[in-house]
Amino acid sequence: MEVAYGSGDGDENASAKVSGQDASMGAIFEQKYRPWEGKLGPRWIRNYAIFRHHVYGIFTSKGHRQYHAFVRLSIVVIFLGALTPIAMLFLSSLFGGTEDELARMWGVNRYNLWGQVLGYFPRNLCFWPLLTAMVVGGMISDDRKNGTSAIYFSRPVTRTDYTIMKFVSVAVILGFVIIFSYVAYYTAAIVFRGEGWAYLVDTLPLFIAGLFCGILLVFTYTSIGLALSSISQSRFFSAIAFLSVIYGTKLVALLVDAQFDSSILYILSPYDCLAHIGQYLLGIELNYDHPLSLSIVSILLMNTISIGILTTRVSSLEVTRE
């Protein structure tokens, strides 16, 4: 800079050399930008990198998303808690005298298959909402806060791929705990009791109905959680907002039902809409007075609005830090 803008006190005789070691007063470095002419990886590789970053972070932090140790421990506790009926099935297979009573209590039937996915306590009161809140907390809000969306979109990653892979990452984590525990329970009940093909054929429709309820629950909680994560820059706000939606709507509808003997406000509760549909599919006596069609329409609207908010907010992410 002194060579270029000297005051004239001897600077008229100074000179600068490009990248030279013998420059009199300064050196101007020549920098050339060359386009990368390598071959890009296929689209699925780039999408898998997003998926791996979030899912593998639960098991290892090296090169992946940083999950707090408390979050990892909580996920393990929830997963083990979801598998506790399998231990009771094992005990029921050991005691011959009380086998029938324990089998009726813990074996495969409509109510137990219902309880494995949509049972209010402890699963939908403690397990599934807390699991979703911990997973979706910083899924998109961290990108918005830290500007890491610039890393994604400066590469050949479209916003559609970004949204889909974020959705798939959360759904896989939730599905591993919810769906896996459900399938493991059904399989263990058949194996421990040594049931044959006839039993399998009789209970398979119930199992498929419960499986559909579990998939619908995972999809709904994922869409709502990501929508809330996309509108904030704080993982704490996203987690608390999701818990507020699940618990708040349930509590308000419960109070209105107790006071006015009307279940219509349950259509605002994601859990109760899912429970209403699940009770119908599994052939359980319905606990709601309003028509089933209202719960179905409510679930469709919740998912549509949540996905709409998610895509809109992702489209507002720029290739620069916000």
Q: Please determine, for residue 270, whether its predicted confidence score (pLDDT) is greater than 50.
A: yes
CA separation for the pair 258, 179 (Å, rounded): 33
CA separation for the pair 28, 68 (Å, rounded): 46
Q: Residue 321: its pLDDT value, please? A: 46
Q: Please determine, for residue 146, whether its predicted confidence score (pLDDT) is greater than 90.
A: no
Higher pLDDT, 54 or 103: 54
Higher pLDDT, 33 or 149: 149
Q: Please determine, for residue 2, whether its predicted confidence score (pLDDT) is greater than 60.
A: no
pLDDT digits (tens, 9 = 90+) for 312-322: 999 988 665 44
CA separation for the pair 248, 198 (Å, rounded): 44
Mean pLDDT within 253-280: 96
Q: Please determine, for residue 23, whether its predicted confidence score (pLDDT) is greater than 70.
A: no
What share of the chain in percent tops pLDDT 90?
61
Highest mean pLDDT among 37-41, 190-194, 225-229: 225-229
- What single string gives the DSSP state of each residue in 63-118? TS----HHHHHHHHHHHHHHTHHHHHHHHHHH-STTHHHHHHHHSSSHHHHHHHHH
CA separation for the pair 205, 199 (Å, rounded): 11
What share of the chain in percent tops pLDDT 70?
87
Q: Residue 322: its pLDDT value, please? A: 42
Q: Which of 8-17, 34-43, 56-65, 231-240 has the lowest mean pLDDT?
A: 8-17
CA separation for the pair 128, 178 (Å, rounded): 8
pLDDT digits (tens, 9 = 90+) for 100-144: 677 778 889 999 999 999 999 999 999 999 999 999 988 999 888
CA 224: distance to chain centroid? 9
Check residue 95 and give left, alpha or beta (phi > 0: left; psi -120 to 50: alpha): beta
Contact 274, 114 (CB under 8 A): no
Q: Please determine, for residue 90, whether its predicted confidence score (pLDDT) is greater than 90.
A: no
Mean pLDDT within 87-111: 78
* Torsion of the alpha carbons at 191, 197, 202 and 206, rounded to the nearest 10: 50
Q: Residue 59: its pLDDT value, please? A: 87
Amino acid code (one letter) for 291: P
CA 113: distance to chain centroid? 23
> What are residue 41's phi and psi, to 5 degrees?
-70, 160
Q: Which of 20-24, 99-103, 260-264, 317-321 has the lowest mean pLDDT?
A: 20-24
Q: Residue 125: its pLDDT value, please? A: 93
pLDDT digits (tens, 9 = 90+) for 167-224: 999 999 999 999 999 999 999 999 988 888 898 999 999 999 999 999 999 999 999 9
Q: Please determine, for residue 16, whether its predicted confidence score (pLDDT) is greater than 70.
A: no
Q: Please determine, for residue 10, whether its predicted confidence score (pLDDT) is greater than 50.
A: yes
Q: Residue 150: its pLDDT value, please? A: 79
